[in-house]
């Protein structure tokens, strides 16, 4: 059976009021709001962006959607989990300050922000259910203590998964710091000594001090490396490589299995909104302004995370003139997460796109 994916054309140059109305329309079309019971805890999962990043979903775009959720329950909140890498989102205090600086305040949105895995990322639960890559998942407690989940995702490319959309927001985004480490634990970069300039930039960004300078180039200590990929992103000389053929597929399949455990926890009370506005090569964890890789497309909504991500990828290819813009950014088979998700019952790649007037 095909899943329904609702689509509203939109452009980031529109007014915030217009985009808020479109996001609300897409959300209501899914019917999720009608499933929310009075006073249930409703987690609105989002990425608050990084310092200097401009691609994140703006809080003003969500006011209509949030109002609809609040009409059902007074226990709605915006949330994210802390990052694996050290930075402005690795603990709840800095994370909250960053969210506030980007406008995610109760005065703007009408709801509080709660960081789902606690002060330093230790607050987690471990739902089980054996799959081919993992037997359990370490998920932020604030997510699993909720009754309803709305995943609000800014679609981007990604250095390790090729596509960052609903499945990634559900699997990686809802994981605690330990869960993020678990998913990355077998993904290891290597250094091309001939291309390395020994500038030391990667060392400053490595969260585990796994990179050290040797004679003429840096080296990565595999015993310390957690596979987060920060060094690959910040290297300006292309000296750091990943073994994408094996490691990316493994990571994507772990990602899908984590997403499956979160999704099945909510028993029909999870929905997904994908914003295809300022789609960029890299994710919003990059602390810089990034150029679009395609003109703005619109907003998608569905109850099926696999279907919405397949529709997202198809629209990107269509608007890219038939070119796979995601693969052009990083030569990664991003479809692995969708294929594995479909195999394990996370959703289906078969969908009907319903354009809303």
| DSSP codes of every residue in 1-13 | -PEEEEEEE--TT
> pLDDT digits over 123-142, tens only?
999 999 989 999 999 999 99
Q: Which pLDDT band holds residue 168 (cuts at 50, 70, 90)? A: very high
Distance CA 180, CA 284 (A): 16
Give the tokens for residue 325. 């813009």
> pLDDT digits over 345-357, tens only?
999 999 999 999 8
Q: Note whether 214 and 129 are same-domain residues.
A: no
Q: Note whether 19 and 168 are same-domain residues.
A: yes
Residue 213 β-bridge partners:
218
Q: Which pLDDT band holds residue 246 (cuts at 50, 70, 90)? A: low
Out of 213, 242, 271, a domain closes at 242
Q: Supply the CATH number for residue 51's domain.
A: 3.40.50.11440
Out of 242, 277, 311, a domain closes at 242
Distance CA 278, CA 147 (A): 31
> pLDDT digits over 58-105, tens only?
999 999 999 999 999 999 999 999 987 767 898 999 999 999 999 999
Contact 355, 10 (CB under 8 A): no
Distance CA 329, CA 159 (A): 8
What are the backbone dihedrals phi and psi of residue 9, each rounded to the nearest 5 degrees, phi first? -60, 140
Give the tokens for residue 95. 């994370």
Distance CA 158, CA 140 (A): 22
> pLDDT digits over 10-60, tens only?
999 999 999 999 999 999 999 999 999 999 999 999 999 999 999 999 999
Q: Supply the CATH number for residue 194's domain.
A: 3.30.70.20
- Structural domains in the chain (count): 2
- Tell me: pLDDT of 233 over 80: no
Q: Note whether 273 and 153 are same-domain residues.
A: yes
Mean pLDDT for 209-237 is 86
Q: Note whether 198 and 64 are same-domain residues.
A: no
pLDDT of residue 155: 98
Percent of the chain with pLDDT over 90: 82
| Pairing of the two strands 76-80 and 42-45 | parallel
> pLDDT digits over 173-205, tens only?
999 988 887 888 776 788 999 999 999 999 998
Q: Note whether 179 and 222 are same-domain residues.
A: no
Distance CA 138, CA 128 (A): 9
pLDDT of residue 245: 46
Out of 197, 223, 242, a domain closes at 242
Q: What is the DSSP string of 136-168?
A: B--EEHHHHT-SEEEEEEE-EEETTTEEESHHH
SS3 200: coil
Q: Which pLDDT band holds residue 208 (cuts at 50, 70, 90)? A: confident
Q: Which domain holds residue 99?
A: 3-183+244-355
pLDDT of residue 18: 98
Q: Note whether 269 and 343 are same-domain residues.
A: yes
Q: Who wins on pLDDT, 178 or 119?
A: 119
Distance CA 326, CA 157 (A): 6
Q: Note whether 231 and 214 are same-domain residues.
A: yes
| Greatest distance between any 2 Cα atoms in the chain | 64
pTM for this model (two decimals): 0.87
For 238, which DSSP code? S
Distance CA 256, CA 243 (A): 20
Q: Which pLDDT band holds residue 154 (cuts at 50, 70, 90)? A: very high
Distance CA 201, CA 217 (A): 12
Q: Note whether 195 and 73 are same-domain residues.
A: no
> pLDDT digits over 331-349, tens only?
999 999 999 999 999 999 9
Q: Note whether 238 and 252 are same-domain residues.
A: no
Q: Note whether 111 and 232 are same-domain residues.
A: no
Distance CA 340, CA 355 (A): 27
User: CB under 8 Å to 329, separation ≥6 — which residues?
Assistant: 157, 162, 281, 282, 293
For 219, which DSSP code? E
Q: Note whether 212 and 228 are same-domain residues.
A: yes
pLDDT of residue 286: 86
Total number of residues shown for the chain: 357
pLDDT of residue 87: 78
Determine which helix (DSSP H) or strand (DSSP E) holds 218, and give its type and residue range. Answer: strand 218-220
Q: Who wins on pLDDT, 286 or 147?
A: 147
Q: Note whether 32 and 78 are same-domain residues.
A: yes
Q: Who wins on pLDDT, 149 or 240?
A: 149
Q: Who wins on pLDDT, 154 or 229?
A: 154
pLDDT of residue 85: 72
Contact 51, 16 (CB under 8 A): no
CB environment 97-111: b (16+ within 10 A), e (fewer):
ebbeebebbeebbeb
């Amino acid at each position: 059976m095909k899943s329904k994916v609702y689509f509203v054309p939109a452009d980031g140059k529109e007014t915030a009021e217009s985009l808020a109305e479109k996001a609300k329309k897409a959300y209501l079309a899914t019917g999720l709001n009608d499933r929310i019971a009075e006073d249930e805890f409703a987690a609105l999962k989002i990425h608050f962006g990084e310092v200097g990043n401009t691609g994140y979903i703006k809080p003003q775009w969500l006011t209509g959607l949030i109002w609809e959720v609040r009409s059902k329950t007074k226990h709605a909140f915006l949330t994210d989990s802390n990052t694996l890498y050290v930075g402005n989102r690795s603990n709840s205090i800095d994370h909250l300050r960053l969210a506030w600086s980007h406008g995610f305040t109760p005065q703007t949105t009408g709801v509080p922000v709660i960081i789902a895995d606690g002060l330093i990322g230790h607050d987690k639960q471990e739902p089980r259910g054996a799959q081919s890559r993992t037997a359990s998942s370490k998920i932020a407690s604030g997510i699993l203590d909720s009754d309803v989940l709305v995943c609000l995702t800014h679609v981007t490319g990604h250095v390790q998964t090729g596509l960052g959309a609903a499945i990634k927001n559900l699997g990686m985004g809802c994981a605690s710091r330990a869960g993020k480490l678990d998913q990355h634990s077998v993904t290891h970069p290597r250094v091309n000594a001939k291309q390395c300039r020994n500038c030391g930039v990667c060392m400053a960004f490595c969260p585990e001090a796994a990179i050290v300078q040797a004679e003429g180039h840096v080296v990565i200590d595999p015993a310390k490396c957690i596979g987060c990929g920060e060094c690959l992103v910040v290297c300006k000389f292309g000296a750091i490589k990943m073994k994408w053929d094996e490691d990316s597929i493994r990571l994507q399949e772990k990602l899908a299995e984590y997403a499956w455990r979160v999704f099945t926890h909510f028993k029909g009370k999870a929905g997904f909104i994908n914003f295809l506005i300022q789609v960029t090569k890299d994710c919003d964890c990059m602390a810089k302004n990034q150029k679009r890789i395609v003109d703005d497309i619109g907003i998608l909504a569905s109850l099926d995370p696999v279907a919405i991500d397949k529709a997202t990828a198809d629209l990107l290819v269509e608007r890219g003139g038939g070119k796979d813009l995601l693969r052009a950014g990083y030569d990664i088979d991003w479809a692995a997460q969708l294929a594995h998700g479909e195999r394990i019952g996370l959703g289906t790649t078969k969908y009907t796109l319903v354009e809303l007037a």
